[in-house]
Amino acid sequence: MNGHCNVNVNDTVEKFQCNNGFSDLSIDTKKSERDTSRKEDEDKSCLDLHVLEAAYTSILRELGEDTDRQGLLRTPLRAAKAMQFLTKGYHETISDILNDAIFDEDHNEMVIVKNIDMFSLCEHHLVPFFGKVHIGYIPNKNVVGLSKLARIVELFSRRLQVQERLTKQIAMGISEALRPKGVAVVIEATHMCMVMRGVQKINSRTVTSTMLGVYLEDPKTREEFLTLSQNP
């Protein structure tokens, strides 16, 4: 790994952990502490579901709906399970999902996986935002199974997120797992909080990107990635 990439990764990791109380490393710690008892986990998950269900029943009533009508009878349970599914990324770690799918390969050309569909929840309004993620990296003797890039996107997107942080977390996750020469992540998404409510701009899209390593230093490399990942 080149010197720049090391420095960038470490700096970014430190700044990142200070700014974001829910960084990936803290998730890893939490999970290992919880790993002590699977039954405890299951009980807790069941209890959480009841708590969520009660909260949703309360929400339906406060909105003026009739919780006894046929269409809404099991809605609190369904909504609670849906919300748990949409935030399942909190309970997974990078090492679990990579599943040792890292291979020694003498390849040092760019690898791009583009148009990865992404669905996340805005942490400010609890409303979905969705779009496409394009990932590129230049391996440094290690390549990763291609679907694992999409799984890393799932891990970080199935959480309460802010698009800027999501982009950075994906880039950092790949960086730490592979130590490549460079990583680039671009996300283009539509935010329902802007489309369905508030300013109500239907065609608006938000684009964020994170460039690490050679993608940050070398404009030509960055350009190559941006050109190859664009859709005509």
Nearest approach in angstroms of CB 110 to other proteins is 26
Q: What is the DSSP code (8-state) at residue 211?
A: E
Region binding other proteins by CB under 8 A among candidate stretches 125-133, 136-144, 173-181, 213-221: 125-133
According to DSSP, the β-strands at 160-161 and 111-122 are parallel
Nearest approach in angstroms of CB 128 to other proteins is 6
Nearest approach in angstroms of CB 111 to other proteins is 24
Per rule CB under 8 A, is residue 226 in the interface with other proteins? no
Cα radius of gyration rounded to whole Å, the chain:
20
Report yes or no: 149 and 101 within 8 Å, Cβ to Cβ: no
Between 25 and 54, CB nearer to other proteins: 54
- Quick note: the x/- pattern for other proteins over 2-21, rule CB under 8 A, is -------------------x
- Quick note: the x/- pattern for other proteins over 61-90, rule CB under 8 A, is -xxxxx-xxxxxxxx--xxx-xxxxxx--x
Q: Which residues 91-120 are close enough to bind other proteins by CB under 8 A?
A: 91, 117, 119
Q: Which residues 147-166 are close enough to bind other proteins by CB under 8 A?
A: 160, 162
Between 116 and 143, CB nearer to other proteins: 116
How crowded is residue 184: how many other Cβ atoms within 10 Å of its Cβ? 27
Distances (CA, A) of 203 to 14, 122, 130, 191: 36, 18, 13, 10
Q: Which residues 203-222 are close enough to bind other proteins by CB under 8 A?
A: none
Which of the residues are catalytic?
Answer: 122-125, 163, 191, 193
In terms of Cα–Cα distance, which of 122, 120, 185, 181 is closest to 149? 185
Distances (CA, A) of 132 to 203, 209, 225: 15, 12, 15
Residue 9 CA to residue 19 CA, distance in Å, equals 15
Residue 120 CA to residue 159 CA, distance in Å, equals 6
- Binding residues for other proteins, rule: CB under 8 A, are 21-22, 48, 51-52, 54-56, 58-60, 62-66, 68-75, 78-80, 82-87, 90-91, 117, 119, 123-128, 130, 160, 162, 192-193, 195-197, 202
